[in-house]
Amino acid sequence: MPKSYERKLREAEERRRPRAKEELYKAVEGKSQRIMLGFDHPETLQFEMQLTWVEDTWTVDQLHDHLMSEVRRLDAEYRRKPLRGNYSQKYLWFDRFVLRPRVQGRELTLQDYGIEPGYRVKVSPFYQSEQMWGQPFPFDHSKERPLDQMTPCEDPKLLVRLDKGGGDFLTRIFFFPWLGGNSSAYIPVVQKMPKDICCYALEMPGRGEREADEGYPTGTFAIKVMALSLAKEMKRRGSNYVFAHSQGSHFAYYVVKRLRYEHNVEIKGLFVSNFGVPSAMPSMDLSTLQKRQQICVPLRIFTNLVKGGWGCDPKLAYKSHMGYQAYQSQELWPVARSLLIDHWITKDFPLPEADHPLFCPVVAFYGTEDEAVSRSAVNEWKNLSADPDVFKVIEMPGGHMWFQNNSSRCEALAIELDRLMRRFR
């Protein structure tokens, strides 16, 4: 009996439907599996895409030691000259970002980063990759940081002046960026500020004009560099104030404390916006592989930021059914890189004594439509103010990024900051 037309259509549809692929590899917590990784010789293009067997439960340091032993084996086999670069910091690059070896004392493994068979890692930086303090520069060794400068020191490019006055005014305000933010985001606010105020902002490495500059490996390291870089300008005659939005509020808190204790610098007022106190920073749950991957795998990081209402571009969390991840695109990678950098340097928080009050008054701003941070969380800054009676929360319309890309709100912020600086002078 001839087949019906409908039956032929169903059979054709079944033939077009892709068959379920057999799962060749799946990470299993507590079970070590051998996988093959690609790697490159760091100082020659003649040995690109070498292959080696590794265990997926190896730590980042173990993988670095293994890859360097493979590199030295190749050098001996082909009678190459000894390596010239400095690889003592044990940096590894994967997907253009640096693999952090540990978080809050726990060693991270290849499983935690979602590294699978056939993936490729590098022991030296490459085009558009994240730069790191003390990294090797295999093809221009003159750029390498000397071994005696690996500890935190002043970053001459960190502090940039945004106002066009150019005068040596007695009132100075320093703007701290938020997660993935840069100094240029504060220009609309500075343009609305009075002309007799010096306006500075922190330009973090890995973004904007500092795309190729070395970043800071940890949050503690970054705070020391910030304090050293700000101290010279803040010690000049006059009054210093600090404004910080979102995650920048925690950096500002720790830097203000360090400036007081280590450099004897006094801050007249700290103004924070849309973030909770440092001691309320939730501790990370590292108990399972899935939860560690939420912290380590970039796509999951961006997904959590987008769903959490932190004001990130939703395209960063997009992945197609063919495996394309939008954050890796030429358009989005600069933003993604800066977000990843700031994501990792906040993983040290909270630091010890994060609940100690400051020696200056604190005032908070709050975007009333914020989905990520509650007003009650912002109210807790009252306990960190030198004078809790002068603390208050200034409510503004808008969400978490309430003043960004909004001229009228930038002007309102500038007016309030000017009023507060005059009050605490």
Q: Where are the beta strands (DSSP E) in 177-306?
A: 197-202, 239-245, 269-273
Task: Give the domain CATH number at 208.
Answer: 3.40.50.1820
Same domain, yes or no: 108 and 206: no
Beta-bridge partners for 288: none
d(CA 33, CA 321): 27
Question: Has residue 115 been placed in a domain?
Answer: yes
What is the pLDDT, as a whole number, of residue 30?
Answer: 87
Q: How many degrees, rounded to 5, is the angle at CA 138 between CA 136 and CA 139?
A: 135
> Exposed e or buried b for every residue in 269-278, given b needs 16+ CB within 10 A?
bbbbbbbbbb
What is the pLDDT, as a whole number, of residue 3?
Answer: 66
**Domain membership of residue 62 as a residue range:** 27-77+101-127
Same domain, yes or no: 106 and 211: no
Q: Using an 8 Å Cβ cutoff, are 94 and 55 in contact?
A: no
What is the pLDDT, as a whole number, of residue 1?
Answer: 46
Among candidate residues 86, 109, 127, the one where a domain is terminated: 127
Same domain, yes or no: 187 and 121: no
Return the residue matching tokens 């104030």: 241
Question: Has residue 324 been placed in a domain?
Answer: no
Same domain, yes or no: 170 and 253: yes
- pLDDT tens track, the chain, 425 positions: 456 888 888 888 888 887 777 678 888 998 999 999 999 999 998 998 899 999 999 999 999 999 999 999 999 999 999 999 999 999 999 999 999 999 988 999 999 999 999 999 999 998 889 999 999 988 888 889 988 889 999 999 999 999 877 677 889 999 999 999 999 999 999 999 999 999 999 999 999 889 989 999 999 999 999 999 999 999 999 999 999 999 999 999 999 999 999 999 999 999 999 999 999 988 888 999 999 999 999 999 999 999 998 889 999 999 998 889 999 999 999 999 999 999 999 998 999 999 999 999 999 999 999 999 999 999 999 999 999 999 999 999 999 999 998 999 999 999 999 999 999 98
d(CA 337, CA 215): 11
Same domain, yes or no: 244 and 369: yes
Same domain, yes or no: 166 and 117: no
What DSSP state is assigned to residue 110? T
Question: Has residue 16 been placed in a domain?
Answer: no
d(CA 260, CA 240): 12
Paired sense of beta strands 34-39 and 50-55, if any: antiparallel
Contacts 24+ apart (CB under 8 A), 419-425: 420/241, 420/269, 420/271, 420/363, 421/171, 421/173, 421/197, 421/239, 421/241, 421/268, 421/269, 424/241, 424/268, 424/269, 424/360, 424/361, 425/171, 425/239, 425/268
Same domain, yes or no: 47 and 107: yes
Same domain, yes or no: 53 and 175: no
CA nearest neighbour of 185 among 174, 172, 175, 195: 175
Same domain, yes or no: 67 and 191: no
Report residue 361 as tokens.
């008054």
Question: Has residue 227 been placed in a domain?
Answer: yes
Same domain, yes or no: 118 and 213: no
Same domain, yes or no: 232 and 270: yes
d(CA 269, CA 244): 11
Q: What is the pTM of this model?
A: 0.89
Q: Using an 8 Å Cβ cutoff, are 164 and 187 in contact?
A: no
Which residues make Cβ contacts (< 8 Å) with residue 116, sequence separation at least 6?
Answer: 25, 27, 35
Question: Has residue 367 been placed in a domain?
Answer: yes
Question: Has residue 371 been placed in a domain?
Answer: yes
> For residue 130, what are the CA distances in angstroms to 6, 127, 250, 284, 335?
56, 9, 23, 24, 12
Same domain, yes or no: 271 and 371: yes
Return the residue matching tokens 């954050």: 327
Report residue 128 as tokens.
């558009």
Question: Has residue 38 been placed in a domain?
Answer: yes
Report residue 80 as tokens.
């190459």
CA nearest neighbour of 160 among 190, 117, 193: 190
- How many structural domains is the chain composed of? 2
Question: Has residue 66 been placed in a domain?
Answer: yes
Give SS3 for 189.
Answer: helix
Cis ω on the peptide bond leading into residue 282 (within 30° of 0)? no
